[in-house]
Chains A and B, each alone.
Chain A
């Protein structure tokens, strides 16, 4: 069964014809060409596919495309402003919070969701919040530092630069 859905993705209205079983992540990746949202598992555990729907973090492998009809979706491609990274993206870069990059879009989308609900999270709160996002490369150490830095900058504070990282 085919259905046409209309939604807003990264601020732009889009329409697409999907099957009833098409997942939101398939619509984004395969029909809209937004391949920044990744699929890392088939049990809604890994979080590589996290996007925001109407401002809430959602695993795009767990929502049918038809359920997103009429809603507003933000993906990793819509986070930066032009060429300027969002403070959370910048914090991930400053803290070497990504290696292979595969979990990274989901991590950033989750981090933004955390900070929206808790602007000044503790290390423990960050670690507990990340229960739904798996990373196999970083051991989470630098992701935790990055989210704390991103949150600080979003609160208007200066980034701590704990690694003394140099611009390339």
Chain B
């Protein structure tokens, strides 16, 4: 029975619903000690000295280590995995990122010392006895101010706090086009800084086996092999053969668990010193000040149009906050995952983007769900809406006039990408119909009668997923390949283990990948096991981010299954005394074409492992194949999202009354799981638009939104029920035709919501709103601009 395309319930749910999941903090190792990390209370200070002697003598304390101890042991800094070059060809400034600060702290939360004790309580108590002599200095917090002459300097290696000044596109062509444009629309906007907030706080357990010299790290990671490579090769100098990294059940990632973090190196290194396992688990307030943050752009954008409302040229200038140090993939986010997306769904012929990346005394910033693509979509869909408003045209109509036509694929954009497939017009029409766009004005009038300003907003988006062709990203500065691996192990009795380099931290791979295998090999779901997250078990894999698991990891599984079937056909041909070319594989059986003579996959597998009657001269025993899949191109999911909001005139409170998302994800394996991915992305996108904003005090650099008391996470009563639909065009270059669905919601929703709010506030003369549109912000706007309403 075909399972692909059907809403199979998740195989992983039983353990999570019964308390049987195994997250890193659920693991306890014999003889385990606990680490407490002392962090800087200052945004910027020199460390004049650290006195650990009182802490060393405290009850239960085994060791206290500082940055000097690690430096003395030749521990390296945390490496950056992507090198971006500036306009003038010079490489980005890449300051050292010590695991524990040595002579200077650069953000509130920068790790300074680690206390290791028998219990967590003892470690925490003793940390209070560590005396750090800080000489506080002024901090650079605001990314625009940090680029001004005389701003406090974050890293000596980056004069003026500039990491790089990057560009993409043809500036001369853009300026020539602007010179002859009928209309030019300009906008200044910010993309608010966010804290990812996976519900499981990060955790790490380092372990060292004295007998074998082997290290094991249990960690909350989206990509254990990447951690093994970065930490082993660059930080602790442990060969792969003696370092095992295990990422067990992981409670959400959203990008924040891609990176190699200091605590992973600290616990692993310390375990080697004290010869006992060392466990660290973040408190939520530690997560706020140590998980890589997301977004944080300040942008000026200009759009040129002709007299028929055709987009002619786009010019974008962005300042992107990197924080105090470069996190693992930080440099590529506001460049190659941002500037390259600025064509969006449109035929704009000339595009130019420049990005200045700047260091500030804040937590490092890196990829967060969407990563660059939500920022590109937000500015593009805001300025397109603004253009429609200035022209006096329906924003849906302006979009229709400018969509890349569905017969134009493959479509080469002016910003390096080549889209393989899509049908943006039909997707938009699907969304407009589902949202009853035509009937909106009546709903607006009805709302006004109830004291509410109602607005509707459209956002279309394109994203580049399935990251990525290794040769392409290598030419753009990636220091890693971005293939994926899979091993398909058919066991003697016909059950199958799939060892995948992808990592599931909520995405449901155990179900989706099993459906893929069940349908291809013709075996029941419950005879399939999906193994992931352990470098000692799986082939070298790059992990899960950028909506890549099915497009890249799934394609690797398909490749490996193809090899299994090819070998199985040879074995079956031998057993059936037929020509290999006459043997067909279907529904789990190898059959001699046109006959009823067949062997099941199980029979072939048994023969492969008990090879008494076996073509030894031609084949090796066993039925176990590995494949690596390196994608030929990115995949390009796209969609149209429509938000409908009501703003309470008295309180500024926003209700999202309707949210419609129509998306093109290519082929869908499990619609239940795909819908769940969209729901979650939408919640994060709506959170960014209405609730979430990471705030630092601009003078002191203190993190003002450091807990769930201050940082507004979306709750159930902030969100509506979502109306979803899909309009499918297949990806043309991977064997499954899949595109990826993990980030779509977070990409489309911020612009859709903001466009709806601006539409609602149009009677008040409001032209733009920065996110998050909190009730306070809206209440102030309403108070300032209420006169026009009263006059009506």
Contact = CB atoms under 8 A, between A and B. Distances in A.
A38 to B, nearest CB: 7
B577 interface: no
Contact of A43 (B506, B707, B722): B707
A99 B680 CA distance: 9
A46 B676 contact: no
Contacts of B704: none
Given A42-B283, A139-B722, A96 B14 contact: no
Contacts of A8: none
Given A92-B17, A136-B252, A131 B684 contact: no
Contacts of A133: 716
Contact of B252 (A99, A126, A167): A99
A157 interface: no
Given A130-B716, A165-B7, A166-B9, A43 B709 contact: yes
B680 A130 contact: no
A130 B683 CA distance: 15
Contacts of B200: 38, 40, 100, 102
Contact of A96 (B121, B251, B676, B716): B676
A96 B511 CA distance: 12
Given A19-B121, A43-B708, A168-B11, A131 B715 contact: yes
B322 to A, nearest CB: 24
A93 interface: yes
Contacts of B508: 99
A38 B679 CA distance: 23
A112 interface: no
Given A45-B708, A168-B8, A100 B198 contact: yes
Interface residues of B, number: 66
Contacts of B671: 163
B7 A39 contact: no
Interface string B23-36: 10110100000000
A168 B254 contact: no
Nearest to B711: A45
B12 interface: yes
Interface in B502-533: 505-508, 511, 525-526
Interface stretch (A52-60, A64-72, A140-148): A140-148
Given A19-B121, A79-B18, A105-B19, A48 B9 contact: no
A107 to B, nearest CB: 10
Contacts of B506: 99-101, 137
B199 A102 contact: yes
A14 to B, nearest CB: 16
B48 interface: no
Given A38-B23, A139-B745, A165-B9, A128 B254 contact: no
A27 interface: no
A134 B249 contact: no
B717 A138 contact: no
Contact of B284 (A41, A103, A130): A41
A45 B6 CA distance: 36
Contacts of A39: 25, 201
B201 A140 contact: no
B148 interface: no
A46 B284 CA distance: 10
Nearest to A98: B16
Contacts of B252: 99-100, 102, 136-137
Nearest to B686: A139
B675 interface: yes
A118 to B, nearest CB: 15
A93 B20 CA distance: 15
A9 interface: no
Contacts of B708: 41, 43, 45-46, 134
Nearest to A101: B16
B672 interface: yes
B646 to A, nearest CB: 15
